[in-house]
Structure 1
Amino acid sequence: MLRRASGSVRSRRAGRAVAAILGTAGILAAVSGCGLLGGSSNDSGGGGNGQLERTTLKIGAMPILDSAPVHIASLKGYFKDEGLDVTLEPVTGAATAIPKLLSGDLQLTYGAYVPVLQAQAKGTGDFKFVADSYQTADNIFVIMVKANSPIKSPKDLTGKTIATNTKNSITDLLAKSALDTAGVDSKTIKWVEFPFPDMGAKLQAGDIDAAVVLEPYVTLAQRSTGATSILDTSSGPTANFPISGYTTTAKFAQENPKTVEAVRRALTRASEEARNRTTVEDAVVKYAKIDKEVAALVRIGTYPTSLDRTRLQRTVDLMKKYDMLPKDVNVDSMIIDSAKTAK
Structure 2
Amino acid sequence: MAATVCAFQTVDARAAEKITIIVGGINKLIYLPPKLAENIGYFKDEGLDVELQSQQAGVDAENELLAGAAQAVVGFYDHSIDLQAKGKDIESIVVFGLVPGSMEMVRTDAAASIRNMGDIKGKTLGVTGLGSSSAFLGQYLASRYGLKTSDYSMLPVGAGNSLIASLKQQRVEVAWTTEPTTSLLRTGGDAKVLVDLSSVEGTKAALGGLYPASSLYVQRSWADTHKTEAQKLARAFVKTLQFIHTHSPEEIAAKMPADYYGGNKALYVQALKASLPMYSADGKMPDGGPETVLKVMSGFNANIKGKHIDLSKTYTNEFVDQAK
TM over 0.5: yes
Please report how far the alpha carbon of residue 81 of structure 1 lies from its aligned counterpart in structure 2 after TM superposition.
Answer: 1.9
Which of residues 313, 318, 321 in structure 2 aligns to 1:338?
Answer: 318
Q: Which residue of 2 aligns with 1:8?
A: none
Gap regions ≥5 residues in structure 2: 1-8
Query: SS state of the match for residue 284, structure 1?
Result: coil
TM-score (norm 1): 0.74
Please report how far the alpha carbon of residue 280 of structure 1 lies from its aligned counterpart in structure 2 after TM superposition.
Answer: 3.5
Query: SS state of the match for residue 135, structure 1?
Result: coil
Query: SS state of the match for residue 296, structure 1?
Result: helix
> Which residue identity does 1:153 align to in structure 2?
R
Q: Which residue of 1 aligns with 2:54?
A: 90
Gap regions ≥5 residues in structure 1: 1-46
Query: SS state of the match for residue 313, structure 1?
Result: helix
Q: Which residue of 2 aligns with 1:55?
A: 16
Q: Which residue of 2 aligns with 1:265?
A: 235
TM-score (norm 2): 0.77
The alignment status of 1:142 with 2:104, answered yes or no, reads yes
> Residues 103 and 114 of structure 1: is their aligned pair in 2 closer, same or farther, counting only changes over 3 Å?
same
Please report how far the alpha carbon of residue 321 of structure 1 lies from its aligned counterpart in structure 2 after TM superposition.
Answer: 2.6
Cα separation, 2, equivalents of 1:137 and 1:166: 16
Which of residues 224, 235, 239 in structure 2 aligns to 1:254?
Answer: 224
- Deviation per residue, 1:258-299 (Å, 9 max, x gap): 221111111111011122433442233457365422312324
For the Cα contact (< 8 Å) 1:130–1:339, is it kept in 2?
yes
Q: Which residue of 2 aligns with 1:174?
A: 137
Cα separation, 2, equivalents of 1:86 and 1:208: 37
The alignment status of 1:281 with 2:227, answered yes or no, reads no
- Deviation per residue, 1:218-272 (Å, 9 max, x gap): 2222233432223335531436422221111122111111221111111111011
Cα separation, 2, equivalents of 1:337 and 1:156: 40
Bigger mean CA offset, 92-101 vs 251-260:
92-101
> Residues 338 and 64 of structure 1: is their aligned pair in 2 closer, same or farther, counting only changes over 3 Å?
same
For the Cα contact (< 8 Å) 1:145–1:230, is it kept in 2?
no
Please report how far the alpha carbon of residue 149 of structure 1 lies from its aligned counterpart in structure 2 after TM superposition.
Answer: 4.4
> Residues 89 and 318 of structure 1: is their aligned pair in 2 closer, same or farther, counting only changes over 3 Å?
same
Q: Which residue of 1 aligns with 2:275?
A: 300
For the Cα contact (< 8 Å) 1:146–1:204, is it kept in 2?
no
For the Cα contact (< 8 Å) 2:57–2:129, is it kept in 1?
no
The alignment status of 1:158 with 2:121, answered yes or no, reads yes
Cα separation, 1, equivalents of 2:115 and 2:266: 32
- Deviation per residue, 1:102-160 (Å, 9 max, x gap): 3443222211223343222112x32222211223377x312312236441521433343
Please report how far the alpha carbon of residue 334 of structure 1 lies from its aligned counterpart in structure 2 after TM superposition.
Answer: 2.9
Cα separation, 2, equivalents of 1:337 and 1:135: 14
For the Cα contact (< 8 Å) 2:115–2:194, is it kept in 1?
yes
Q: Which residue of 2 aligns with 1:67?
A: 31
Cα separation, 2, equivalents of 1:162 and 1:177: 12
Identity %: 17
> Which residue identity does 2:64 align to in structure 1?
K
Query: SS state of the match for residue 172, structure 1?
Result: helix
Cα separation, 1, equivalents of 2:259 and 2:236: 18
Q: Which portions of structure 1, spanning 4 or more consecutive aligned residues, are displaced by more than 4 angstroms?
A: 340-343
Please give the residue correspondences for 1:10-21 in structure 2 after superposition, counting only pairs within 5 Å: none
Question: RMSD between aligned alpha carbons?
Answer: 2.9
Bigger mean CA offset, 110-119 vs 232-241:
232-241
Q: Which residue of 1 aligns with 2:75?
A: 111
Query: SS state of the match for residue 328, structure 1?
Result: coil
The alignment status of 1:328 with 2:308, answered yes or no, reads yes
> Which residue identity does 1:176 align to in structure 2?
Q
> Residues 206 and 262 of structure 1: is their aligned pair in 2 closer, same or farther, counting only changes over 3 Å?
closer
Q: Which residue of 2 aligns with 1:131?
A: 94
> Which residue identity does 1:75 align to in structure 2?
N
Query: SS state of the match for residue 151, structure 1?
Result: coil
Cα separation, 1, equivalents of 2:164 and 2:92: 34
